[in-house]
Amino acid sequence: MPAEWMPGATRLDVGGHAPTDGGPPKAIGHITWDENTTPARPLDLVPYENLQSWFGRNPSGIPSAPHILWDPFTGRFTQFLPASSRSKSLADKAGGTRTNRAGAVVIQVEALFFPYCRVNGVVYARLVDTPCKGWPALLAWIRSWGVPDRWPMGRPTDFTSRRNEEIWEEEAGWYAHAHVPENHHQDPGSWPGFATEEAPDLDATQAKQLAELHKALVPYMGWQYKGNGKVDAWAQVGIAANQSTAAVKAISAVGSKVDGLKTAALTDAQVAMIADKVAAHPALAERIAELVADKLAARLTD
Strands 26-31 and 43-44: unpaired
Using CB under 5 A as the binding rule, whether residue 30 contacts Zn ion is answered as yes
Q: Which is nearer to Zn ion, 86 or 177 (CB)?
A: 177
CB of 27 to Zn ion, least distance (A): 13
Q: Which is nearer to Zn ion, 14 or 296 (CB)?
A: 14
Query: Of 185, 214, 226, 287, which lies in the binding site for Zn ion, with binding defined by CB under 5 A?
Result: 185
- Report the C-alpha gap between 37 and 296 in whole angstroms: 54
Q: Which range binds Zn ion by CB under 5 A, 13-21, 22-30, 61-69, 292-300?
A: 22-30
CB of 176 to Zn ion, least distance (A): 8
Burial 245-262 (b: 16+ CB within 10 A, else e): eebbbbbbebbeebeeee
Using CB under 5 A as the binding rule, whether residue 86 contacts Zn ion is answered as no
Edge-to-edge strands, sheet with 117-119: 43-44, 117-119, 122-124
Using DSSP, state whether 218 is helix, strand or coil.
Answer: helix
Q: Which range binds Zn ion by CB under 5 A, 79-87, 120-128, 177-185, 210-218?
A: 177-185
Q: What is the DSSP letter of 282?
A: G
- Report the C-alpha gap between 242 and 232 in whole angstroms: 15
Q: Residue 225: which residues within 8 A CB-CB, separation 6 or more? A: 232, 233, 268, 271, 272, 275
Query: Of 71, 92, 187, 286, which lies in the binding site for Zn ion, with binding defined by CB under 5 A?
Result: 187
Is the Cβ–Cβ distance between 114 and 186 less than 8 Å?
no
**Ramachandran angles phi, psi of 91, nearest 5°:** -70, 145
CB of 89 to Zn ion, least distance (A): 6
CB of 11 to Zn ion, least distance (A): 22
Scanning residues 114 to 173, which ones bind Zn ion (CB under 5 A)? none
Question: At 181, which amino acid appears?
Answer: P
CB of 187 to Zn ion, least distance (A): 4
Using CB under 5 A as the binding rule, whether residue 92 contacts Zn ion is answered as no
- Binding mask of the shown chain, residues 230 to 269, with x at each position contacting Zn ion by CB under 5 A: ----------------------------------------
CB of 177 to Zn ion, least distance (A): 3
Total residues at the site for Zn ion (CB under 5 A)? 4
- Report the C-alpha gap between 159 and 97 in whole angstroms: 23
Q: Which range binds Zn ion by CB under 5 A, 18-26, 185-193, 204-212, 273-281?
A: 185-193
Quick one: angle between helices 233-242 and 268-280, nearest 10?
30
Using CB under 5 A as the binding rule, whether residue 177 contacts Zn ion is answered as yes
* Residues within the interface to Zn ion (CB under 5 A): 30, 177, 185, 187
